């Protein structure tokens, strides 16, 4: 079943952009009304569409070997899986926080193994990717480590 998803052709650029804009707008509206822990990390949740897009672009990059593409594919599948640590179906856009954690972990892994350009040339977000990854990674101890996905990622990276 996983292979079926990975073998399907990518949607057209227009469909990708339309999906991205709709998702970004939905998350922004949601984030504007949050306070507390979720409110303080809602800015990171807004990067979920950007990070998903980056992962899909990296999946198509021929410079990334099969083993590392498996990690990228796992990151993509985590985004689209209906059940994860914070399921979007239950907690709304806040459920993208654990997806962001997984995406940052995968992107950091690729950044540590390949030239920076292999990743950064696929980035279409507004912020500098490397600064964003560093900011999210650094804030992990404060916010993300409180989440189940954050504790899991920390366990695997030690």
pLDDT in tens, 95-148: 777 888 889 989 998 999 999 999 999 998 888 888 888 887 776 545 445 555
Q: Are 106 and 74 in contact (CB under 8 A)?
A: yes
Q: Does the residue 98 lie in any domain?
A: yes
Whether 81 contacts 99, CB under 8 Å: no
Mean pLDDT of the region 64-76: 91
Q: Taking the C-alpha atoms of 83, 43, 146 and 131 in order, what is their torsion angle to the nearest 10 degrees? A: 110
Establish if 2 belongs to a structural domain.
Answer: no
What's the CA gap between 62 and 52, in Å, rounded?
18
Please give the pLDDT value at position 107.
93
**Residue 122 belongs to domain spanning:** 13-157
Stretch 67-95: mean pLDDT = 78
Q: How many domains does the chain have?
A: 1
Q: Length of the chain, please?
A: 158
């Amino acid at each position: 079943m996983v292979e079926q998803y990975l073998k399907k052709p990518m949607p057209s650029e227009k469909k990708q952009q339309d999906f991205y804009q709709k998702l970004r707008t939905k998350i922004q509206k949601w984030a504007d009304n949050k306070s507390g822990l979720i409110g303080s990390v809602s800015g990171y949740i807004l990067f979920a569409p950007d990070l998903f897009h980056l992962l899909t672009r990296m999946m198509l990059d021929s410079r990334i070997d099969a083993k590392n593409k498996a990690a990228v594919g796992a990151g993509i599948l985590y985004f689209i899986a209906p059940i994860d640590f914070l399921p979007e179906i239950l907690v709304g856009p806040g459920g993208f926080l654990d997806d962001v954690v997984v995406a940052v972990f995968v992107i950091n892994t690729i950044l540590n193994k390949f030239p920076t350009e292999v990743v950064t040339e696929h980035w279409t977000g507004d912020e500098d990717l490397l600064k964003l990854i560093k900011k999210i990674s650094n804030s992990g101890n404060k916010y993300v480590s409180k989440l189940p996905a954050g504790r899991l990622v920390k366990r695997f990276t030690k």
